[in-house]
Structure 1
Amino acid sequence: MRLLRCSDTGEFSLTEDFVDDEPIPPYAILSHTWGPDTEVAFDELTNGSGKDKPGYEKIRFCGEQAG
């Protein structure tokens, strides 16, 4: 399992994969509707290229709600 992490500066990254008996930090599960061609793909999130897509604002909003 990997989690999306939001830094103090508002940047997003993924945690390393949790394995075996490794402790999992507190987390929130948030859901929303995905729109066509506006959402941030996994590769775009990991390399930072999806920040100009409308879906990035959804990710930012969900991060604020979880914080």
Structure 2
Amino acid sequence: MKILDANDKELMTVRKIERDGNTLVIRGKIFGAMPMVARLTPKEARAALKLLDFKTFFFLLTLLFRKG
């Protein structure tokens, strides 16, 4: 999976998403060169959900079924 910036340049390549206890571990490379391991805790996941309004939440649910 690739995460792109506003200019469609590669910001991050995610190679693996896995569970480690109660955290979500995301492994990948930033800018195609620097290895990175990010951890998402339950507290931070709840904080992220608070940033979403209903329209954006609905969009995320349907994103997997869209063409592109």
TM range (shorter): under 0.3
Q: Which has the higher contact order (CA 8 A, sep 6+)?
A: 1
Bigger strand share = 2
